[in-house]
Amino acid sequence: MKFYDILQMDPAQIRAMIAKTENAKEKRKLRAGMYARSFLIVVFAVLFIGIFTALFGSGNSAMAVSIFCILLAVRFVDYGYRIQDALVNMFIVFAILTFVPSLALPLPWPARWLIYFASLLVMLIMTAEKPHMGNGGLYTFAFIFLAGNPVYGQVLMQRAQMAFLGFLICACVYWHNHRSKDKKITFANVLKRFDLYTYKTQWQLRLALGISVLLCIFTVFHLERYMWAGFAAGSLLSDADVESNIHEKFSNRLLGVILGSALFYMIYRIVPARYYFLIGPVGGMCLGLCSKYTYKTVLNCFGALALAASMYGIGNAVLLRIFDTLAGIFGALLFFYLYDRFILHKFLPNRSYVSKKEK
């Protein structure tokens, strides 16, 4: 296997290969590839987000992060239908992410909920034809992140310019990597498969409805940094195997945030202030080596708390991170059971069988 091929692999795949091989030289090569991959992603992230932020303003760093995540994903994950339809829909998705989170926030909560729900559902139908490929979580994350960082006026126009440039880059990468896939499947075919009696459709509806409802609740009650609660809820509800994984993810998310916040607090107290800027990138490098959800959650706290500590103070930032996570995961779990009780069982009484069939 070429070293370049190792760089394209997920840490879980690399670790599985390391466990299987008995060749010491091959193990060293695989480990070196995993470390190099993590380092290169962090360097690319710093450069990409830094350049985009410098060009379009620090108020749009959330959009820069979202575009970066989408760019990493479109290299490997397609939308499940022909290229021409996919690129048109990608443009629509970028437009939704640019304008909807900011423009809907000042509206009365019923209108805000309806716009959030419709926007999320449209994005999921367009991008998550294959739920297990992760696009549901990716685009939901981007929507929540941008909803938590609204901009207006000139800054919104700069965000639109950034989004258009990001779309062009992502579209080029998508075209290069996926132009030959699913040539006979149109987006119209996808729409025809939208059926309340299929598991995929119910998964899309539950995710869109759950996130839109919870975001509205968080904003109505003025939850500080409510996007953190949204991230926690989204991580549970976006799982393609949510029925079997939600309780484990609930526990792992809670444990990961508590451990990550405590670890960050200790590091922040020990490390000299002049080195605080390194905490985020080092955490990002370690994140690139992780394959387990709990460890990823631990390290995800570093970047978030590094910024929040300068705004709220380290103690308040840690408490806020834990509180928001509790709000998000308990809200998602409650919504999951309510949806299951009052909606899902009416359409899919044999949902476990349907889920396996659609995989």
357, pLDDT greater than 50: no
Displacement of CA 47 from its chain's centroid (Å):
20
Q: In whole angstroms, how far apart are CA 276 and each of 5, 8, 50, 305? A: 34, 30, 17, 11
Tell me what pLDDT residue 280 has: 86
The percent of the chain in helix, strand and coil, each rounded to the nearest 5, is: 80, 0, 20
**What is the per-residue pLDDT across 114-149, written as a single tens digit (0 to 9) for each?**
999 999 999 999 999 999 999 999 999 999 999 999
Instruction: Give tens-digit pLDDT for 161-171.
Output: 999 999 999 99
Residue 343 falls inside a structural domain: yes
Task: Write the DSSP string, 45-63.
Answer: HHHHHHHHHHHH-GGGHHH
Alpha helices in 130-278 (DSSP H): 135-147, 154-178, 187-192, 199-220, 226-237, 242-270
Identify the band that residue 351 occupies on the pLDDT scale cut at 50, 70 and 90. Answer: low
196 and 64 both lie in a single domain: yes
49: Cβ contacts below 8 Å, ≥ 6 apart: 61, 64, 65, 68
Same-domain check for residues 180 and 248:
no
Residue 278: predicted pLDDT: 87
Q: How many domains does the chain have?
A: 3
Contact 231, 301 (CB under 8 A): no
Identify the domain boundary among 17, 39, 56.
Answer: 56
Instruction: Say yes or no: 97 and 230 in one domain.
Output: no
Q: Are residues 145 and 87 in the same domain?
A: yes
> What six digits make up the tokens of 178?
């996926």
What global pTM score does this model have?
A: 0.93
Cα–Cα distance for residue pair 105/79, rounded to 1 Å: 28
pLDDT reading at 299 higher than 60 = yes
Distance between CA 177 and CA 197 in Å, rounded?
33
Domain of 84, in residue numbers: 60-203
Helical (H) or strand (E) element with 198: none
- pLDDT of 359 above 80: no
